[in-house]
Amino acid sequence: MGKFGFSFSWKRALGITSAKQKFVRQTGIPILKSGVERKLGAFLINLLFGKIK
């Protein structure tokens, strides 16, 4: 956390954050562990039970 409401992120400054976001949006493949777990969990539930409408 920064002081006085100011924070600096070198990843944001270099454009790494936006590049990751663009990749995830285009491919649909999550990068974060929680995203991967959520996507795998949804896949397994759909595989077992099928899509319920």
Does the pLDDT value for residue 30 go beyond 80? yes
Mean pLDDT of 34-51: 89
Average pLDDT over residues 18-44: 92
* Alpha-carbon dihedral 38, 43, 47, 50, rounded to 10 degrees: 80
* Main-chain phi, psi angles of 39, to 5 degrees: -70, -40
Q: Count Cβ atoms below 10 Å from residue 30 Cβ, excluding itself.
A: 14
The residue behind tokens 């070198």 is 10
- At residue 7, does pLDDT exceed 90? no
Dist. CA 47–CA 51, nearest whole Å: 8
Beta carbons within 8 Å of 20's beta carbon, 6+ residues apart: 31
